[in-house]
Structure 1
């Protein structure tokens, strides 16, 4: 099964390091980030899980719940969590799915046989409060993710939802943004009374509105 942007994220029920999780119910009205790890006791994953835990204040600001996944058992997760804390100086503070039966991995298409038939790729799915998939990233098993980029993307998507804008190349929070082509000049003048710069009729730049978690 191939997950695509805009579709409802498949629901599931699975064991985790923090008890049984019914995915949609667990998400509630929050955003969610579901990210997979090839398996427990692997070096790159150890650094990644610690970073996600370290970033918990940033996830909380954006109303995002992180949820990891590994195709190992809950018993393995407990021992690995101790290793993560000892080597990375960070205790895990979010659940990691124990997807030993590959129920979720198969549901989300995280096993890529041509890459490695025995482990999941490093997949990332951003899911909004309506349970729609809004972002998909897929890395090979050996390449660690850049979670600063994932946070930047979340900021962009949450800004777009709130203000009818798009974010240009290499945008960072605070940079100018693009007024969506679907917004007429008349509507743009009402939405952005401080004014905007028209470089082309389809390319109108404006000062970035504030992100909700920065207001």
Structure 2
């Protein structure tokens, strides 16, 4: 099948529309519009039947219920065929007892991989690197992370990041390094000198200085 993909030139950019796609997956045809109204973690791996990728897919599978609680779907991709994906999924279930609950994109023509900047010639000309993209319910690309082929990703970090971005959107705040739900959040810096003075003197926040104030939600 033909796969229309929005080409935007170079790597996709944060806070801009994610490149569109219409693809064949292990769950049938999928398009980016199918995920409107939900968060989406789209992630690529170099190849099926490889050990590092297997550990990542099992970790994503085990975390899938936690992503679902956040209204977030998972979607994998590699430059392999549907038949290869299905065989690998069955192999993982047989050998490790883990069922892969999310679809995997067939990208034999590398159209989605190229649109999302997953192909890095310095790593490999015909394999997608370990790239992860987080897309919000409006189809806007909110985060992207790249890993080398030799090292697996930390799936709990992507779960944490989705929670952090949702909290920022809902409350108009930022989150510090390593933030977890329940931790204090960062109040956006004051935009005027008078507002900075008022903020520090108000006692409403915990301020180290006018530019660094935190609060509990």
TM-score using structure 1 length: 0.89
Aligned to 1:98: 106
2:52 is matched with which residue: 44, 50, 54?
44
Instruction: Give the deviation of 1:187 after TM superposition.
Output: 10
1:195 is matched with which residue: 204, 207, 214?
204
Count how many residue pairs are aligned between Structure 1 and Structure 2: 204
1:88 is matched with which residue: 80, 87, 96?
96
2:36 is matched with which residue: 28, 33, 36?
28
Say whether the 8 Å CA contact 1:34–1:126 is kept in structure 2.
yes
Aligned to 1:107: 115
Instruction: Give the deviation of 1:87 after TM superposition.
Output: 2.7
Say whether the 8 Å CA contact 1:47–1:84 is kept in structure 2.
no
Deviates more, 1:173-182 or 1:11-20: 173-182
Aligned to 2:132: 124
Provide closer, same or farther for how the CA distance between residues 89 and 187 of structure 1 changes in structure 2, counting only shifts above 3 A. Answer: farther
Structure 1 residue runs without a partner (length 5+): 210-215
CA–CA distance in structure 2, aligned partners of residues 131 and 185 of structure 1: 35
Aligned to 1:179: 187
CA–CA distance in structure 2, aligned partners of residues 31 and 171 of structure 1: 20
- Secondary structure (helix, strand or coil) at the match of 1:39 reads coil
CA–CA distance in structure 1, aligned partners of residues 69 and 190 of structure 2: 29
Instruction: Give the deviation of 1:86 after TM superposition.
Output: 2.2
Residue pairs, 1:64-79, within 5 angstroms: 64-79=72-87
Say whether the 8 Å CA contact 1:17–1:97 is kept in structure 2.
yes
CA–CA distance in structure 2, aligned partners of residues 129 and 4 of structure 1: 16
After the TM superposition, list the runs of 4 or more consecutive aligned residues in structure 1 that deviate by more than 6 angstroms: 185-188
Instruction: Give the deviation of 1:88 after TM superposition.
Output: 2.6
Instruction: Give the deviation of 1:125 after TM superposition.
Output: 0.3
Structure 2 residue runs without a partner (length 5+): 1-9
Deviates more, 1:179-188 or 1:120-129: 179-188
Provide closer, same or farther for how the CA distance between residues 185 and 129 of structure 1 changes in structure 2, counting only shifts above 3 A. Answer: farther
CA–CA distance in structure 1, aligned partners of residues 208 and 197 of structure 2: 17
Instruction: Give the deviation of 1:66 after TM superposition.
Output: 0.5
Instruction: Give the deviation of 1:185 after TM superposition.
Output: 6.9
Aligned to 2:7: none
CA–CA distance in structure 1, aligned partners of residues 211 and 117 of structure 2: 37
Q: CA RMSD in A?
A: 2.1
TM-score using structure 2 length: 0.88
